[in-house]
Structure 1
Amino acid sequence: MLIQLAILGLLAALLPLTIVWVSSDQNKYRKLVWVTVFLTFDLIMFGAFTRLTDSGLGCPDWPGCYGHANPLQAHEQISAAEAAMPTGPVTVAKAWIEMIHRYLAMAVGVLIISIMVIAWRGWIKSRRADLRFSPTLPTLLLAFVCLQGAFGAWTVTLKLQPVIVTIHLLLGMFLLSMLVWLGARENMHHPVAAPARSLQRMAAVALILLFLQIALGGWVSTNYAALACTDFPLCHGRVIPDMDFEHGFTLWRHLGKTADGEYLPFAALTAVHWVHRNFAFVVVIFIAWLAHKALHIEGLRSNARWLLIVLGAQFLTGMSTIFLKWPLALAVIHNGGAALLVLLLTMLNYRVRIPAQPTADHAATRLSAA
């Protein structure tokens, strides 16, 4: 089974690798990095689709499906589970969704291994002179994707324990951020007016706030608290509704249960939803303020404009999920918007911290950024 899964992972990576190989871009390494960024973004979107369709246990073992490399081979076991519980976690459709997610994850892993191998090869071949191939970050990426894979396994084996699923989401976003930083390092570095140190701090704080909000959003999703408040701007008709923070934010517990094994009270779900909703205002205001500052700096204006556009769209999709009762397409788009914000804020952080410099100095700075 493991050999079959490895072959499927290689086949899934074959298309993006072919795109890089036949590309007219002379810098194949940079092209490979950005293709990997794109596929990682797709993986995050499909991961959200997997979670939101309750397909996380579509194959209740790992890394295969009932000990097989694909749902076709496990059709008998899947059909038996579906017949016993038609609305349960295991169905033919959910099994395919879960396994496609795993195949995509393996493809990203293959691409990151390729990035690391090319980086080390270029670094050694140039006798550590070509700073484009500094291997530190690519090597960290490989270690990080292995950690992400481990949390993917625990997501299944621990039966969608909320804290594990939330960490798995956060690690996926952080992996995207690391890849974007590597891609920014390999890009042509356009001139940027020297930003104030305060803007550098603001950009860093904005990224931290965004990750905190993503963690809260993941906690809402993994606890199925998206519809705990169905009115806005109030919640259950009140500014501060009845909430149970103790049970809502107990990390180590099973899905839908308290730490004592009792059913999670609705007030706990209300607390989870209310905190995510209200912290969103803090994040939106701070990132909008940062983008407004960046609009006045030559070389950052395009990034700032896109940041404002995606931020506005993200706010609207968040509100729409409440009024339209959490439709699947909007929920997936909302997750994608969070990933886009991570991408844009990572690019902004890179550009305010690594300004354009003369060639020799620029190379040294890029090395330190690795």
Structure 2
Amino acid sequence: MAITALIVALLPLSIVWISKDANKYRKLVWIAVFITFDLIVFGAFTRLTDSGLGCPDWPGCYGLANPFLAHDEIRAAEALQPTGPVTMVKAWIEMIHRYFAMAIGILIMAMMAVAWYRWRRDRAAGAVPSIRPGYPTLLFFFVCLQGAFGAWTVTLKLQPVIVTTHLLLGMGLLALLTWFGGRQDHALAPFGSAGVPAAALLRIRLLAALSGLVLLVQLFLGGWVSTNYATLACTEFPLCGGGKVIPEMDFEHGFHLWRELGKTSAGHYLPFAALTAIHWVHRNFALVVIAVLGYTCWRAWAVPALRKPVKGIAAVLILQAATGVATIYLSFPLTIAVLHNAGAAALVLLLTMVNYRAKFLMPTP
């Protein structure tokens, strides 16, 4: 498996190596951002196609490096349950997800190794270090934590709180890498805030931080909907549950975190009202997200350095609203559901850019 992951990682590493970009380290960081974004989207595809247990052990597939080698075991499991969690297609989807996750780990290890090498070289020469190794090292430990939750996702049989945490950590890794990419961009070409009052910049920075917190809550709620398979608990919009504004809901069981998939903490089947509560909260909190992020975009529009990511946030918010409603009216089509997850990742990336730029646009005291 490690060899396969290394082969996958060699493609982006080769792109960095042959690139004519003078700052190859910056290119490596942004390629890692791109692949992490893609992995989050593919992770959504893995989850939405019920492929999370396509290989029911970890890190291999029935203890082997790939589904080709585990062909007999997979076919035997598929014969017992033709529509069950283990099929050849689902096994490949799950293993491809793991290969790319490991490849990202290799890219981050390369970032860390280069950072430590340059830091030691610059210190030995008596120069100011061009790259400090602390942040890449943090990324390395963070991706290890993410990998641990990926393993627990399988070994704990898709327990909702573990899968949701795995999703949140993936979004967190995307945000951390994007922040690091912002640092590389800023070092290459510092952006200015000419003509923007310091008080206005402070307000935007606080709004951007608040937007990040609101988005984090919504990411948890969206992950909780997905991991509990509550997307179609309400099949109407804007009403829910037989034409009601406030349907019958069971918040106690719906938001009890530590329990098995589809079960209450006592081991009984999860009531439908619990799924309704999960869906209803996510749907209505989306209005808060639109209001807070929309207001932040409006206030940040006047700052030229923020205008490009702000335009992106505004466009993605519209896309998210459209795909969220479409999953209900079109009875949860896979493509739209994956696109909705991609929109969430895009919001994380763009809002991280806004937060980074708002922070470093502030004049130094």
Shorter-normalised TM-score: what interval?
A: over 0.9
Distance 1:28 1:130, change over 3 A: farther
Q: Which residue of 2 aligns with 1:50?
A: 46
Give 2:279's aligned residue: 273
Pick from 207, 212, 215 the counterpart of residue 217 of structure 2.
212
Q: Deviations over 1:265-314 (max 9, x none)?
A: 00000000000000000001110100010111232111211110111111
Given the alignment, which residue of 96, 101, 107 partners 1:100? 96
Partners of 2:160 and 2:27 in 1: CA distance: 36
Separation in structure 2 between the aligned mates of residue 130 and residue 87 of structure 1, nearest angstrom? 60
Is the aligned partner of 1:235 residue 2:236?
no
Which runs of 5 or more structure 2 residues have no equivalent in the other structure? none
CA contact (8 A) 2:222 2:282 kept: yes
SS at match of 2:62: coil
- Kept after mapping to 2: 8 A contact 1:66/1:74: yes
> How do 1:244-255 residues align onto structure 2 when only pairs under 5 Å count?
244-255=250-261
Kindly provide the CA deviation profile for residues 316-346 of structure 1, in whole angstroms up to 9, marking residues without a partner as x.
1111111111100011111110000000000
Which one of the candidate residues 201, 204, 207 is aligned to 1:199?
204
Counterpart for residue 163 of structure 1 = 161
Counterpart residue type for residue 202 of structure 1: L
RMSD between aligned residues: 1.3
CA displacement, residues 113-169 of structure 1 (integer Å, 9 cap, x when unaligned): 000111111111111844541111110000000000000000000000000000000
Partner of 1:35: 31
Q: Of 115, 140, 143, which aligns to 2:141?
A: 143
Equivalent residues of 1:123, 1:129 under 8 A apart: no
Judge which range, 132-141 or 188-197, deviates more. Answer: 188-197
CA distance in structure 1 between the aligned counterparts of 2:315 and 2:32, rounded to whole angstroms: 24
CA distance in 2, matches of 1:133, 1:8: 30
Partner of 1:368: none
- Between the aligned partners of 1:112 and 1:271, the Cα distance in structure 2 is 39
Deviation per residue, 1:44-80 (Å, 9 max, x gap): 0110000000000000000000010000000000000
Deviation >3 Å, runs of 4+? 128-132
Corresponding residue of 2:292: 286
Q: How does 1:1-370 map to 2 (within 5 A)?
A: 5-127=1-123, 129-187=127-185, 188-192=189-193, 193=196, 194=198, 195-236=200-241, 237-355=243-361
1:184 partner amino acid: G
Deviation at 1:189, TM superposition (A): 2.1
Cα distance, 1:190 vs structure 2: 2.0
Deviation at residue 243 of structure 1 after TM alignment: 0.1
The 1-side partners of 2:300 and 2:131 are apart by: 30
Structure-2-length-normalised TM-score: 0.95
Question: Whole-Å Cα distance in 1 between the matches of residues 138 and 159 of structure 2?
Answer: 27
In structure 2, the CA distance between the partners of 1:163 and 1:321, relative to structure 1 (3 Å rule), is same
Measured after TM superposition, the shift of residue 196 of structure 1 is: 2.6
Q: What residue identity is the alignment partner of 1:235?
A: C
What's the TM-score, normalizing by structure 1?
0.94
Cα displacement string for residues 235-287 of structure 1 (whole angstroms, at most 9, x for unaligned residues): 12111100000000000000000000000000000000000000000001110
CA 1:114–1:130: 2 relative to 1, 3 Å: farther
How many matched pairs? 355
